[in-house]
Each structure stands twice: as C-alpha cells, then as structure tokens.
Structure 1
Amino acid sequence: MASGKKRSSKKEPLEFRNTALTDALQTQDMAAVAFALRHGPTVVPLMKPGQRDDPLDAGEVWTYRDPSTGDLALLLFSDAAHKPATLPPAVALQSPAWLRAFLSTHEREITTVFFDIAGPHPLQASPADIIAALDA
C-alpha cells in the first residue's frame, strides 16, 4: 500500500560558477571576458543573504573599502571556489542584467571591480569598462 508521500526528486545542486568566465580569465582575453559576462552569471559575495521566500530579495552585496584611501571595490568571482575564505561565506549567482543594474547604480562609489582577486587568474577593471562590456 502506498504511504501517500511523494518521493522527492533529487535535483542537481546549483553550481556557483561561470565556466566561460573562468576560461576567459585564464587566457586574459578581454573579448571572451566580455562575452562571458554578457551570457552567464557572476558569483557575488554577500554580507547578508536574501530571504528564500522573496525572489526580489537578492541579499546585501559585500564590497571592500580600502581603509587608507576610502576607495570602494566590488569583488566578483567566476567560481565560488575562487572566493577567499576570509570573505563572508554567503554568495549569490547574479545575472548579467543584475550586474549591469548594480554597476550603473553604484558607478560613482565603486572605483574598481576585481574578478577572482585571489586567483588563479585575477583581473581588474573599472565599472565603466564592465558596463561597456555588458552593453557591447
């Protein structure tokens, strides 16, 4: 006799990575980086994760402020495995549209954007350069 319980289907775990971005950073090919940013997600560290029941709550993005200059940097990752353990543990997988909107909103405050800052293949760009790559 059936127990009335539905068997839960095993879902593949969500992968917090953009393989195309990882590959583009490895070769430092700026055209490939731009393509990967336009067509795939970016791993974003969070101070506070969003509410699971609210799809509009993306959480609070973690940024780095240099204590000596006050400059604000946005750290992004091609793979959650590249995020240093010293950063807050929560991450979000954000779309190209989200990245474009976030950078547009905070372009005056953010002085630089780092990709995979701790390696294996870091890249630094200005918010304006990232916006231009997303718009290309």
Structure 2
Amino acid sequence: MAGKKRDKKPLEFRNTQLADALQTQDMAALAFALRHGPTVVPLLRPGQRDDPRDDGEVWTYRDPNTGDVALLLFSDAANKPAALPPGVGLQSPAWLRAFLGTHGDQITTVFFDIAGPHAMQASPVDLLAALEA
C-alpha cells in the first residue's frame, strides 16, 4: 500500500518566475514574481520543525564601515553564496511584506541573487510598493 508521503514532491527552494524576472532585469516582472511566489531567504538560525510559527532568524548583511543593512533574497537556494550561513527558508509574499513592513526602516537595500547569475537591487520602499500593487 503506497503512502501519501511517498507521493509528495520534495520542497523546492526556488522561484522560477523570480529567476526569469532577474534574467530580464524587468522590475514589473520582479514585482509580479514576488507577489505570487516564494522567496529564498538566508537564515542565521533555522526554524523549529515542530513549531510552524517559528520561521527562523533571517540573516542580513551589515556593512562594517557604514552600518548599512542589506537584506539578501534569492530566486534559488543554489544561488546563495557558500560564505553565507548554510540555512535557508522559503518565505511567502505575505511574509516578505510583513518583514519589510517591520524592518524596512533599518534596511538600506535589498539584493536579489547578489552573486549572480543576474543580480538586482531595490529599496525596501519600492519592494513594499510592488508587493502591495
């Protein structure tokens, strides 16, 4: 007797629409991809598996010279540089909206796929506007 768990597809840590938008450097397509799909986020501390409310602790980059804070987001976990913490989370558009709404005044810029293949950046204000469009 085949169990349903065996038939379940493994969770994919990527957003193909976001990767396509980054490839074309199209801000409208990027906004659409963020509103309708997940985003891969580097985690300093992964969430607890038995607590669905625990998303983990998001890793951000703080420039040691200026103190500026950057949020790094990825279209695919494979695009995350190995130098970053190893954990990743797959976050929803609602999560990204809430995170930027809470921490947007501390974040200077948001980088997408910072190490490539098609890096792009935006301000938290622009991303919030895109998410709420």
Same fold (TM over 0.5): yes
Give ranges in structure 2 of 5+ residues lacking alignment.
none
SS of match in other structure, 2:6: coil
Q: CA shift at 1:6, angstroms?
A: 7.8
**CA distance in 2: counterparts of 1:114 and 1:9, whole angstroms:** 36
What residue in structure 2 maps to residue 58 of structure 1? 55
Q: Percent identity?
A: 77
State the TM-score, normalizing by the size of structure 1: 0.93
State the TM-score, normalizing by the size of structure 2: 0.95
2:44 to 43, 47, 50: 47
1:97 and 2:94 are equivalent in the alignment: yes
Aligned residues: 132
Q: What's the RMSD between the two structures over aligned residues? A: 1.3
SS of match in other structure, 1:68: coil
State the AA in 2 paired with 1:135: E
1:72 and 2:73 are equivalent in the alignment: no
Q: Alpha-carbon deviations, 1:77-136, whole Å to 9, x = none?
A: 000000000000100000000000000100111000000000000001000000000001
2:108 to 91, 108, 111: 111
Give ranges in structure 1 of 5+ residues lacking alignment.
none
| Structure index of larger Rg | 1
